[in-house]
Structure formats: C-alpha cells, structure tokens
Chain A
Amino acid sequence: EAGVTQFPSHSVIEKGQTVTLRCDPISGHDNLYWYRRVMGKEIKFLLHFVKESKQDESGMPNNRFLAERTGGTYSTLKVQPAELEDSGVYFCASSQLGAEGAFFGQGTRLTVV
C-alpha cells in the first residue's frame, strides 16, 4: 500500500513567485493535514481537511496560503506570492476518520530566495 506522497520533494523559487505543493494521502483516508517546519522551529499545524471540507484552518499563517482538496482526494497548498519566511519543510499527513495518529509524507522542502 502506498504511503502519503508529496510532490515535489524540493522546490527553490524566487521571492514573489508562486509555488503549488501537492499531497496524495493514503487511499481511503478522509482526514488530511498540512504542517510546516521552519528552520530551527517546531513543526506547526496549518490546516485539516475532512474529505473536501476544511475542518480547521487556524494554523494558516496568512492569505498568501491557499489549500484545496477538490473531490476529497489529493490536496494542494499554494503559496502566492512567496516570501523568504515561507522557506521550510511542508508536511502532509492523513488518517482514517476516528483513527489515532496520522501517517506523514516525506515533506516538501521549499526554499524561497
């Protein structure tokens, strides 16, 4: 069974550009989460989807970040326009409804220069 898959694994973009990160959860997992780890800091929650609906987006830093999960399958996280402080590793995780814990992807390392 495939795990949580994230694309790309690395992305280097210039300040002001747009980047879209993708997450493919484990098949059948209705819960999908996005997290971010900025260099030297904790992994921080961004938002939580249940199927295609945003259950909790309290961790989204500002309106330059847009997450979608059309059809309740894969999710995208768009950063537009990117700023230097957006650099970090973006993790996606998924789980079945009611399950304890979640399965994480390997992360996308975003570098904004």
Chain B
Amino acid sequence: ELKVEQNPLFLSMQEGKNYTIYCNYSTTSDRLYWYRQDPGKSLESLFVLLSNGAVKQEGRLMASLDTKARLSTLHITAAVHDLSATYFCAVAGYGGSQGNLIFGKGTKLSVKP
C-alpha cells in the first residue's frame, strides 16, 4: 500500500528564516504534487514533479524530487507571513491514475513576524 509521510506536521517559523518540509513515500511513483491550502479555501496546486531530479521554483518556494530516495522536499526561503498555510504533498496512486492521489497529512506552517 502506498503511503505518504510528511514532516514536520506543524511548523512555526519567524519571518526571514529558511526551512524545509519533507515528503517521503513508500513505493514507486512517477508523479508528485505539492498543494497549498488556506483555511476554508480550496487546495491550490503549487508544483507537479514528474521525474527524478526535478526542481521547480516559484517565488520563495522550491520543490525537488528524488525518486530513488522516494523523497521530495519543499524549501522555504526567507519566509514571509503570507506563506502561512497548510502544505500537502501527494503522490499518484497505483496504476498511475493521476486522479487517485495519495496525500500526506499536511504541514501547517505559521510564519510569525
């Protein structure tokens, strides 16, 4: 059974600091997604990583994928308050159905002044 583990589950950081969220998954998958969710809002797609070594950056967020280690990271650079949200990683389920996503529990990020 494919499992996805994120850590940490809660992260409180100060503005201007850097930090990394980790996403480990248990079996082979060729697609990994990062989503952001603000309270009461929909999940917003941040990154889609499709190959080993893939790295994508958007603003202060950078995501990478190591399929051999079954590990993805979401790195936050010089955090700002607007980044406060819950971040989810998700992996395509067995059979490659891109809709059958296996999610991690989410990392609740709080950025304080």
Contact = CB atoms under 8 A, between A and B. Distances in A.
Interface in B81-106: 88, 90, 93, 97-106
Contact of A45 (B42, B44, B93): B93
Nearest to A5: B42
Contacts of A101: 33, 45, 48, 98
Interface range, A side:
20 to 34
A48 B45 contact: no
A96 B50 CA distance: 18
A31 B99 contact: yes
A45 B101 contact: yes
Interface stretch (A14-22, A36-44, A68-76): A36-44
Contact of B100 (A4, A59, A95): A59
Interface residues of B, number: 25
B104 A48 contact: no
A95 B48 CA distance: 14
Given A42-B105, A106-B41, A58 B48 contact: no
B48 A44 contact: no
Interface string A41-55: 111110010000001
Contact of A95 (B93, B99, B103): B99
A89 to B, nearest CB: 10
Nearest to A6: B42
A107 B31 contact: no
A102 B44 CA distance: 9
A56 B42 contact: no
The 5 A-B pairs at the shortest CB distance, nearest first, are namely: A104-B43, A43-B103, A104-B42, A106-B42, A48-B99
Interface of B: 4, 31, 33, 35, 40-45, 48, 50, 88, 90, 93, 97-106
30 contacts: A3-B42, A31-B99, A40-B105, A42-B106, A43-B88, A43-B90, A43-B101, A43-B106, A44-B103, A45-B99, A45-B100, A45-B102, A55-B99, A56-B97, A58-B100, A91-B42, A93-B43, A95-B98, A95-B99, A100-B48, A100-B98, A101-B33, A103-B45, A104-B35, A104-B42, A104-B43, A104-B44, A105-B42, A106-B40, A106-B41
